[in-house]
Amino acid sequence: MPAPDDFFDAIDSARIQRARELSEIKRTFLAISRSDPLAIGSKSVVVLSYAAWEGFYNECVRIYLDFLQQSGIKVADANWLLLAGLMSADFNSLRDRHHSDTAKREFVANLRDRLICGFDNFDRSVVMARSNLDFDKLSSNFLLLALEIAPFQIRRLRIDKELVGWRHGVAHGDPPDLTAVDATSHIEFASELLLTVADSFQDAILRHV
């Protein structure tokens, strides 16, 4: 069993780095906000805050799955639903062969093998953010990872409308009206979310110790 503290420290280190980046974003924005008629500063805050949110989430996923892999835990024992990350090829084969009787039998036979697999061949993309970490995506991923979504419920609307929605608008050429955006509050909100994400993954590590 690897030392859990090493993975705790990796999560804390990644969060501190992201928090420092957000702090620098806030400092830079305040320096230019008085002369920014095109709202470049506000748009930058929106895009970079989302990048910190998604990037840190993905880092936590990587660290957590590294822990599970190095611990020798079977995917099915970590959480039954995580088998989805082992069975992408099986699902595709079943579909491509039009759910034939032979394909179904082979699917079931392969399932027996998947039950004893660890995380060496796990498809991590099934629990990554994929450039759209809204509340629904977070909930779906947390369900697979067996993490508790409740701490994010109270922040659901703000995650979807501000953190994700504003970023999508800026990134895809349909920017929202950001003239009244409280950039400091937006950055602090992102920082709070990083801490909640860190707690979620660290609690998950503890459950496997």
**Whether 29 contacts 183, CB under 8 Å:** yes
178 or 19: whose pLDDT is higher? 19
Phi, psi at 30, each rounded to 5°:
-60, -30
Q: What are the structural domain ranges in the chain?
A: 4-207
pLDDT on residue 181: 78
Rg of the chain taking only CA atoms, in angstroms: 20
This prediction has a pTM of: 0.92
Write out pLDDT tens, residues 22-40: 999 988 887 766 566 567 7
**Alpha-carbon span 7 to 208, nearest angstrom:** 12
- What torsion, rounded to 10 degrees, do the Cα atoms 90, 139, 22, 182 define? 140
